[in-house]
Each structure stands twice: as structure tokens, then as C-alpha cells.
């Protein structure tokens, strides 16, 4: 463990780190300038112009930046700084060739940080690391598929392999992948969603009967009140700011709930509008509740309690009794729970004043259309599922589900993470889905639930999993407990990464390792029947087509679909119990894959024709469409959840691990975090000035972050610059993935098993 942190410190040059004042406005002209600078660095001028004009256009490719939806009618490319950066990273002209791997040993590359690895560019050739070798060597695709088949055949059971997916994978590739994996005989299909919105899926599935958000873009723009909790849209969903601007123009009130006063929640200067360029932009949050980390559940309960109080004094003033009577159950039990809530607890959990909470409750009481949006600030806590169930309770009280301008809005991360789930990427897909693939492909898929992300790592540590395959993503770096996880991966027989770009998961490997380089969605995907399109689903269940237009980064790349089909053909050859699939026909014509999807997945009927429409089509969502709740009782459930919040021992802080403005998850675009005033470095920890003072520290001091957990293991991330920052007392923040080393594998959310990466108890140890 000491090794891991020592190495990071040695190799990261933080000598140019500067700390300035945090910004109070997002986007504007600086955003355009920064994204163009980065794009031109990666792509050159001409490619930048050609590529950025195709983002999110009806005849273009889906932006790989995030899952926020687009309007059906797109006029010109909507400018988005971080979308542009995500595109530039993929469309870069830099290349990682066999010569690169001949020059650099694995040992050598392990010393590089994430930024250096990612900046090398696109992978060009399939590469194999043979057991005992020091370097990767080029390999033919056929040989690569044989290696996978050999290692899978050597396993005692199919459950000794685990097959990860990251959320950029297209619907077509995801559908084929889960079919291959289930055909092979396991449900071990962990995905990035396990670390992301699993808590949302769990809470929503339990209460309203479907694990997806219930609003459309129009709903957000028509809402009376929009609550944005645990989300930093200015950095992570910049196009959401345009929707918020529209909502404000239509009279919406925005309530932000966040321990940090994020620039993108305060004001938006829309670079597409004159006012955004020369004026003062649009103020966004009308109310800012600067909540303590993990205090949201207590806040939601307090707000609900006040709504009930208002309604008791004046029946009908706050609650939607008709909706409650017609569509819900469990109200009495929920109210009985609320009755036990006391203000001392609420204050301790949230750090907020009662008057502020009452004022926001008053705003909610006066709203007929409320949307609650959230992201990782709510999902990555031990009590995340309970928190989100209480968010649902709050909405149900006022009938805010299945009404225009109202609903639940979990804002997804990866651009197709929601679609991957719809396609069956889940370790515990429901029986109806498994029956449907069995019927379609004439086989019997396994029924026993598989391993999710955290359980896959645990199984590797026990020796029960011997082979890892990743369809995209950067498993070693995205997962918690870096030191333990790296050790787990290193103990495997084979690690396979299907990737566009070099990352740490290529250099922390099993005994044998494969890098299978793939097309990105900006690129033309030419197959036997001609160029192919793929489909993706956004955060609001809209499915649309994505067509690449750039020449592939290398002639040796294969599409994700072609790679999966190639592996499946080899692995399943000769097995009589395998699904009946003509893999090469599917690879040659993705319409054939969609024909099967249409028969298996409800809502995909007539998919080909409906993909031709600008904006595509929207999948059914019973609560949104007809206030139908597919729960055990046919009603939406109020739930009673005991108030939980993090309790931090004296002298310790609660750390959240979050994203800077210049990164996409484990891909680091640059070393700045403009909105938070940071330039030239990433090893910073944001702490309240009084908390620093209480420990005899001041802004600018250097500290080790030491995490303390029930298992008694001390996890350490070395040498961070302390930054005095506007955050509630007792709360700290630092960037992921550098701080993943601090997140214990066993610190997970109840019911969703999501790593609690916004809830890490740490102490600061001064260093000189």
C-alpha cells in the first residue's frame, strides 16, 4: 500500500499547483476558449471543426460526454465545453502503437500516472502480454480470441470469470455481450452502474416499480420547482444548464442542495447567447442549502414533516390527497416514522438552520410541479438507498410523479449507462428478460444471480474468479480500495480489456493480458453490409441512433460488436447448450441484432423505423405515462426509513471523492479545476478553514489523508495540499481516482452495494 502512494507522489509533478478563488459562474467565453484549446491540441484545427459539428446532430454521433438528453429538434450544435473535451479525447490524432509497447515495459508503465497514460492517445493494435513477459506484443485478432477461449475453457465453472461493462457501450454491443456471457453460463455482469446509480435503481424500483427517472426534458423546463441535490452539473452535465436556464425563464425556482457552492449551480453564462457572452448570465439557484455530507435523508424527512404540518393546519394546502388515495400505500407508516423526527437530529445531520429548511418547505408547498434531480452526492453513501426512498416520499406526498413538470430525475453519468441496463447488463436481470432471451435464442440462461463490481473484487481476492474481461472502462482505477484491488487483478489468470485508450487497467494485469482496441462512436463502423449505426438511451429513456463519421484511428480496430461476436464464436463453438446465434451474420448487419432486441426488450418494437426519426423514440415508463406502478400492490409505496447520517469521531473529517472540471472519471484531461480555483495540480484537499485551524494547520500546508475504517486497516494517500474552502465544518473533498486508495472495499451502500465514496472518514497528518 505504501508503494502505491509513494509512487504516485514521486511521479506527479505538483510544483505548478496554484490555488485561486472559486468562480461564481459557469461556462461563458472561457469555456469556449478552454475546450477549443484542448480540441486543437488533440485533433488539429480541421478535425476539430469537422468533429464538433457532428456532436448530437440527428445524422451525427451521440456525445460521449454524459447522458443528459437532447431536444428532438436540433438546430445547431449545442456548445458544451466538457462534451467537446470528451470528443477530443477520442478523436485525438495521438496513437499508442506496437512500437510504444516495445519501448515501454509494463513495469515502466506502472510508474506513469493516469494523465500520462491517457495522453498517449488511441490504441491501434491488439496486444498480448504472455505469462512471464515484460512487454506487450502485437497479436492477431484470431490468436487473441483463441487466448480468451483457452483461458475460459480452463476454468472449473463459468462463474470463475467476470465480465464488466462501462457505460459507453452501444445497445447493440451490450445486448450481444450479455447474450455471450449468459450463453457461456454466468450472470457475472458487473458494470460501472454498480458504482454509480445502483442506489437510484434500487430505491426507485422498490417504490415506484421502475428503476429509471420519470421526467422528460420538457418536464424539467416546465417545473415550478427544481431541486438539484448532490450534483455538479456545471462540470458533469453542462448541457443541463441550458435546460435550467429555460426553466428559470419560465418562472421556475431552483433549490440547490450541496456542501459545495459549485459555480454551475450559481450562475450560467450561456455562450450561445449574447447575454451569456457580454452580460451577467442567468442566476440559477434561488435557494442554496449547504448541507453536510450525508445529511440529505434528514433534510428530505424534515421537508416532508413540514409539508404534513402545513397540510394539517390547512388541509389540501400542501399534500395531494387525491393522488395519495388513488395511487399510493404505506402513508400511515411513513407518517408514524416522521412523527419521531426531532429537530436536534435534523440540525446535527444537515448542519442547516430550521428557518432555512422551513423556507424551502414553503416553496415546495406552493409548487404544483416539482422535479428532484440528483447524482453521485446522493448515491455514494452507506444510506444512499434510504435517502432516495425519502426523496420519493417527498414527491409522492404532493403527487409529483406522473404529472407534467414533475418527477424523479436521477441524472445518469456515462452516455449509454442506462441503455446497457435495458439491454440486460446486470448481474440480476429479472426472470422475464431471461425467459425472453431464452425463447429468442433457444437456450437456457443461468438463473443464479451473478457478481456485481464489489463482489467481483471480493471473489478475485478469494481466488474464486480467475478471468476478468472489461468492455470499456478502467476497472482497476474506477473501483475502491486501489491497493487491494490491484492485488486482486494481479492474481488472475487472464485480464482482457476492450478499450479505445490506454489506462491503468492495461498495466495492472493478470498472468496473461489482452488489449483489444476498439472503434469509438465518432468513427465510421464499416461491416459486411456497409456502414453501421448503433443506438443509445439517454437519462430520460429516449433511444436514438448514433453514426460515426471519422476515419477509424487505425485500420486494425474492430467494433465492440465484432470483438464480442469473434470471442463468442470461438468460446461457444461446439457447445450444444449454447444460444443459437449466427454471430457472423449479426456482426455483419446490426439491424439483425436490433431485430432480436425488438423481440426481447419491451418498447423496442419497430426499432429500425423509429430510429430514423429525429430524436428517436421514448421507452415506456408506466408511472410517467399513466401513473401505473408495477409494484407488489400496483401502488407507489411510501416507505418508512430510519434517519441515518454519518457520525464522525472527534478530530476526524468526512471526505467526499469527486470530479474536477478537467477529467472524465479516470481519464484526466488536464490538471486544472477552473471553477474551484485550482490550476496545475490535483493533489488538493478542500477543508473548512476552522477545521484546519482546529488541527493547527493553515491553507497551503501539506497533509497525508489517512482513512480509518472498521476493519482496522489504515489506508493512506500521501501529500495533499490543504485548501481552505467554503464547505460545512467536518466535511472535506478531494479528487477521484487519486483518493480511491482510501475507500474501503467493504464501505458500501446498504441494498445497492455501491462503494460509499462520498463518505470516507479520514484524519489529516501534517507532512513537511
Ligand X SMILES: Nc1nc2c(c(=O)[nH]1)N[C@H]1C(S)=C(S)[C@@H](COP(=O)(O)OP(=O)(O)OC[C@H]3O[C@@H](n4cnc5c(=O)[nH]c(N)nc54)[C@H](O)[C@@H]3O)O[C@H]1N2
Pick from 152, 10, 150, 33: nearest CA to 84: 33
Query: Contact between 401 and ligand X (CB under 6 A)?
Result: no
**Contact code string over 309-328 relative to Mo ion, x by CB under 5 A:** --------------------
CB 115 to ligand X: min, Å: 12
Nearer to ligand X, 328 or 474 (CB): 474
* Closest residue to Mo ion in the complex (CB): 413
Which partner, Mo ion, ligand X, none, binds residue 736 by CB below 5 to 8 Å per kind?
ligand X
CB 610 to ligand X: min, Å: 24
**CA pair distance 688, 703, nearest whole angstrom:** 14
CB 424 to ligand X: min, Å: 17
Contact 600, 383 (CB under 8 A): no
**CA pair distance 306, 706, nearest whole angstrom:** 40
Query: Contact between 192 and ligand X (CB under 6 A)?
Result: yes
Cell of 583: 454471430
Q: Which part of the chain contacts ligand X (CB under 6 A), choosing from 349-357, 492-500, 637-645, 690-698?
A: 492-500
Which partner, ligand X, Mo ion, none, binds residue 597 by CB below 5 to 8 Å per kind?
none
Contact 236, 429 (CB under 8 A): no
CB 409 to Mo ion: min, Å: 15
**Contact code string over 719-738 relative to ligand X, x by CB under 6 A:** -----------------x--
Opening angle at CA 332, ends 330 and 335, nearest 5: 110
Q: Which of 84, 257, 352, 724 binds ligand X (CB under 6 A)?
A: 257
400 in the Ramachandran plot: left (φ > 0), alpha (ψ -120 to 50) or beta?
alpha
Q: Which part of the chain contacts Mo ion (CB under 5 A), choosing from 110-118, 189-197, 251-259, 314-322?
A: 189-197
Pick from 43, 167, 35: nearest CA to 523: 43
Query: Contact between 478 and Mo ion (CB under 5 A)?
Result: no
**Contact code string over 574-613 relative to ligand X, x by CB under 6 A:** ----------------------------------------
Q: Which part of the chain contacts ligand X (CB under 6 A), choosing from 152-160, 190-198, 444-452, 614-622?
A: 190-198
Q: How far is CA 522 from CA 55, 215, 586, in A?
A: 9, 28, 21
Pick from 636, 454, 571, 555: nearest CA to 185: 571
CB 486 to ligand X: min, Å: 15
Q: Which of 36, 376, 567, 648 binds ligand X (CB under 6 A)?
A: 376
Q: Which of 659, 671, 674, 715 binds ligand X (CB under 6 A)?
A: 659
CB 196 to Mo ion: min, Å: 3
**CA pair distance 660, 657, nearest whole angstrom:** 10
CB 733 to Mo ion: min, Å: 17
**CA pair distance 171, 707, nearest whole angstrom:** 39
CB 413 to Mo ion: min, Å: 3
Residue 339 class from Cβ within 10 Å (0-12 exposed, 13-18 middle, 19+ buried)?
exposed
Query: Contact between 294 and ligand X (CB under 6 A)?
Result: yes
Query: Contact between 436 and ligand X (CB under 6 A)?
Result: no
Residues in contact with ligand X, counted by CB under 6 A, come to a total of 62
**CA pair distance 647, 187, nearest whole angstrom:** 37
Helix or strand (DSSP H, E) at 597: helix 590-600
Nearer to ligand X, 51 or 656 (CB): 656
Question: What single-letter DSSP state applies at residue 292?
Answer: P
CB 118 to Mo ion: min, Å: 17
Considering only residues 190-219, where is the footprint of Mo ion by CB under 5 A?
Answer: 196
Q: Which of 104, 212, 383, 501 binds ligand X (CB under 6 A)?
A: 501
Pick from 678, 732, 729, 726: nearest CA to 703: 732
Pick from 573, 568, 607: nearest CA to 469: 568
CB 672 to ligand X: min, Å: 13
CB 399 to ligand X: min, Å: 24
Nearer to ligand X, 216 or 522 (CB): 522
Contact 144, 126 (CB under 8 A): yes
Cell of 120: 498517449
Q: Which part of the chain contacts ligand X (CB under 6 A), choosing from 70-78, 133-141, 223-231, 273-281?
A: 223-231
Query: Contact between 676 and ligand X (CB under 6 A)?
Result: no
CA dihedral over 359, 360, 364, 367, signed as positive or negative = positive
709 in the Ramachandran plot: left (φ > 0), alpha (ψ -120 to 50) or beta?
beta
Question: What single-letter DSSP state applies at residue 368?
Answer: S
Query: Contact between 372 and ligand X (CB under 6 A)?
Result: no
Residue 282 class from Cβ within 10 Å (0-12 exposed, 13-18 middle, 19+ buried)?
buried
Q: Which part of the chain contacts ligand X (CB under 6 A), choosing from 154-162, 377-385, 600-608, 678-686?
A: 377-385
Nearer to ligand X, 291 or 436 (CB): 291
**Contact code string over 376-415 relative to Mo ion, x by CB under 5 A:** -------------------------------------x--
- Strand, helix or coil at 118? helix
Q: Which of 259, 281, 399, 419 binds ligand X (CB under 6 A)?
A: 259
Pick from 745, 707, 201: nearest CA to 454: 745
CB 237 to Mo ion: min, Å: 11
Which partner, Mo ion, ligand X, none, binds residue 168 by CB below 5 to 8 Å per kind?
ligand X
Which partner, Mo ion, ligand X, none, binds residue 12 by CB below 5 to 8 Å per kind?
none
Considering only residues 25-84, where is the footprint of ligand X by CB under 6 A?
Answer: 65-66, 82
Bridge-based pairing state of the strands 731-735 and 684-687 = antiparallel
CB 475 to Mo ion: min, Å: 13
Cell of 310: 402545513
Bridge-based pairing state of the strands 161-165 and 225-229 = unpaired
Nearer to Mo ion, 231 or 253 (CB): 231
Considering only residues 512-551, where is the footprint of Mo ion by CB under 5 A?
Answer: none
- Strand, helix or coil at 423? coil
Q: Which residues pair with 257 in a beta bridge?
A: 229, 289
Nearer to Mo ion, 230 or 413 (CB): 413
Nearer to ligand X, 196 or 542 (CB): 196
Query: Contact between 177 and ligand X (CB under 6 A)?
Result: no
- Count, in order, helices (H) and strands (E) of the chain: 33, 33
Which partner, Mo ion, ligand X, none, binds residue 294 by CB below 5 to 8 Å per kind?
ligand X
How many CA atoms lie less than 13 Å away from 95 in the CB half-sphere? 12
Q: Which of 124, 641, 656, 753 binds ligand X (CB under 6 A)?
A: 656
Q: Which of 43, 84, 179, 260 binds ligand X (CB under 6 A)?
A: 260
Cell of 389: 426512498
Residues in contact with Mo ion, counted by CB under 5 A, come to a total of 2
How many CA atoms lie less than 13 Å away from 485 in the CB half-sphere? 25
CA dihedral over 597, 602, 604, 605, signed as positive or negative = positive
Query: Contact between 64 and Mo ion (CB under 5 A)?
Result: no
Q: How far is CA 761 from CA 14, 655, 727, in A?
A: 25, 6, 16
- Strand, helix or coil at 486? helix
Query: Contact between 532 and ligand X (CB under 6 A)?
Result: no
Cα torsion through 401, 402, 403, 407, rounded to 10: 40
**CA pair distance 320, 163, nearest whole angstrom:** 45
Residues of this chain that interact with Mo ion (CB under 5 A) are 196, 413
Residues of this chain that interact with ligand X (CB under 6 A) are 65-66, 82, 166-168, 192, 195-196, 229-232, 235-237, 257-260, 262, 291, 293-294, 296, 375-377, 380-381, 413-414, 471-475, 478, 498-501, 503, 518, 520-521, 560, 656-659, 663-667, 736, 739-740, 743, 757-758
Amino acid at each position: 500500500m505504501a508503494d502505491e502512494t509513494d509512487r504516485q507522489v514521486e511521479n506527479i509533478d505538483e510544483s505548478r499547483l496554484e490555488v485561486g478563488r472559486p468562480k461564481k459562474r459557469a461556462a461563458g467565453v472561457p469555456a469556449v476558449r478552454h475546450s477549443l484549446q484542448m480540441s486543437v491540441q488533440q485533433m488539429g484545427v480541421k478535425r476539430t471543426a469537422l468533429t464538433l459539428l457532428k456532436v448530437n446532430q440527428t445524422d451525427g454521433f451521440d456525445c460521449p460526454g454524459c447522458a443528459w438528453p437532447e431536444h428532438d429538434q436540433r438546430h445547431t450544435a449545442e456548445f458544451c465545453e466538457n462534451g467537446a473535451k470528451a470528443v477530443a479525447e477520442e478523436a485525438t490524432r495521438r496513437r499508442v502503437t506496437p512500437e510504444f509497447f516495445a519501448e515501454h515495459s509494463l513495469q515502466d508503465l506502472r510508474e506513469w500516472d493516469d494523465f500520462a497514460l491517457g495522453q498517449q492517445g488511441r490504441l491501434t493494435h491488439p496486444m498480448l502480454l504472455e505469462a512471464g513477459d515484460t512487454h506487450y506484443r502485437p497479436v492477431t485478432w484470431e490468436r487473441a480470441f483463441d487466448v480468451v477461449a483457452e483461458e475460459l475453457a480452463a476454468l472449473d465453472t463459468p462463474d470463475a470469470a467476470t465480465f464488466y461493462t462501462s457505460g459507453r457501450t452501444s445497445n447493440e454491443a451490450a445486448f450481444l455481450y450479455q447474450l455471450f456471457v449468459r450463453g457461456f453460463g454466468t450472470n457475472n455482469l458487473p458494470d460501472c452502474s454498480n458504482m454509480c446509480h445502483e442506489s437510484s435503481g434500487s430505491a426507485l424500483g422498490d417504490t415506484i416499480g421502475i428503476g429509471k427517472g420519470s421526467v422528460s426534458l420538457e418536464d424539467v423546463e416546465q417545473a415550478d420547482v427544481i431541486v438539484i441535490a448532490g450534483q455538479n452539473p456545471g462540470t458533469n452535465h453542462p448541457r443541463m444548464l441550458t435546460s435550467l436556464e429555460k426553466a428559470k425563464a419560465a418562472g421556475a425556482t431552483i433549490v440547490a442542495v450541496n456542501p459545495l457552492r459549485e459555480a454551475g449551480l450559481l450562475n450560467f453564462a450561456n455562450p450561445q447567447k449574447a447575454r451569456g457572452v457580454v452580460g451577467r448570465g442567468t442566476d440559477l439557484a434561488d435557494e442554496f442549502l449547504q448541507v453536510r455530507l450525508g445529511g440529505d435523508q434528514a433534510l428530505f424527512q424534515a421537508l416532508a414533516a413540514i409539508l404534513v404540518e402545513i397540510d394539517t393546519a390547512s388541509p389540501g394546502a400542501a399534500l395531494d390527497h387525491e393522488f395519495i388515495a388513488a395511487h399510493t400505500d404505506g402513508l400511515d407508516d411513513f407518517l408514524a416514522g416522521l412523527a419521531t423526527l426531532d429537530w436536534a437530529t435534523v440540525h446535527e445531520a444537515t448542519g442547516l438552520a430550521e428557518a432555512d429548511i422551513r423556507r424551502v418547505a414553503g416553496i415546495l408547498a406552493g409548487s404544483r410541479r416539482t422535479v428532484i434531480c440528483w447524482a453521485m452526492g446522493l448515491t455514494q453513501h452507506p444510506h444512499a438507498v434510504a435517502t432516495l426512498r425519502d426523496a420519493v416520499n417527498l414527491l409522492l406526498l404532493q403527487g409529483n410523479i406522473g404529472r407534467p413538470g414533475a418527477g424523479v430525475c436521477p441524472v445518469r453519468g456515462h452516455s449509454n449507462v442506462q441503455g446497457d441496463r435495458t439491454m440486460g447488463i446486470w448481474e440480476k436481470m429479472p426472470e422475464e428478460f431471461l425467459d425472453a432471451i431464452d425463447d429468442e435464442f433457444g437456450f437456457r440462461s443461468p438463473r443464479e444471480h451473478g457478481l456485481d463490481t464489489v463482489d467481483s473484487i471480493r471473489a478475485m481476492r478469494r481466488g474464486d474468479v480467475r478471468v476478468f474481461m472489461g468492455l470499456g472502462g478502467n476497472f482497476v482505477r474506477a473501483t475502491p480500495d486501489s491497493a487491494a484491488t490491484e492485488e486482486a487483478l494481479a492474481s488472475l489468470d487472464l485480464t482482457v480489456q476492450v478499450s479505445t485508450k490506454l489506462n491503468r487497467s492495461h498495466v495492472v494485469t493478470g498472468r496473461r493480458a489482452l488489449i483489444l482496441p476498439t472503434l469509438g462512436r465518432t468513427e465510421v463502423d464499416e461491416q459486411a453490409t456497409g456502414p453501421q449505426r448503433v443506438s443509445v438511451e439517454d437519462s430520460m429513456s429516449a433511444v436514438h441512433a448514433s453514426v460515426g463519421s471519422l476515419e477509424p484511428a487505425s485500420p486494425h480496430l474492430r467494433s465492440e460488436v465484432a470483438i464480442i461476436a469473434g470471442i463468442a464464436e470461438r468460446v461457444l463453438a461446439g457447445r450444444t447448450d449454447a444460444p443459437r446465434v449466427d454471430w457472423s451474420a449479426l456482426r455483419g448487419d446490426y439491424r439483425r441484432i436490433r431485430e432480436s432486441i425488438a423481440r426481447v426488450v419491451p418498447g423496442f418494437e419497430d426499432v429500425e423505423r423509429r430510429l430514423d426519426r429525429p430524436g428517436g423514440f421514448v421507452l415506456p415508463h408506466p408511472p410517467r405515462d399513466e401513473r401505473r406502478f408495477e409494484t407488489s400492490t400496483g401502488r407507489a409505496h411510501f416507505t418508512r426509513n430510519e434517519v441515518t447520517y454519518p457520525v464522525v469521531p472527534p478530530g476526524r473529517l468526512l471526505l467526499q471523492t469527486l470530479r474536477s472540471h478537467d477529467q472524465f472519471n479516470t481519464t484526466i484531461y488536464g490538471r486544472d479545476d477552473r471553477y474551484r480555483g485550482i490550476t496545475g495540480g490535483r493533489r488538493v484537499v478542500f477543508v473548512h478553514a476552522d477545521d484546519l485551524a482546529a488541527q493547527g494547520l493553515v491553507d497551503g500546508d501539506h497533509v497525508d489523508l489517512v482513512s480509518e475504517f472498521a476493519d482496522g486497516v489504515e489506508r493512506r494517500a500521501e501529500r495533499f495540499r490543504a485548501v481552505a474552502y467554503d464547505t460545512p465544518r467536518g466535511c472535506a473533498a478531494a479528487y477521484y481516482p487519486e483518493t480511491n486508495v482510501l475507500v474501503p472495499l467493504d464501505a458500501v451502500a446498504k441494498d445497492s452495494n455501491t462503494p460509499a465514496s462520498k463518505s470516507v472518514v479520514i484524519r489529516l497528518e501534517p507532512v513537511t
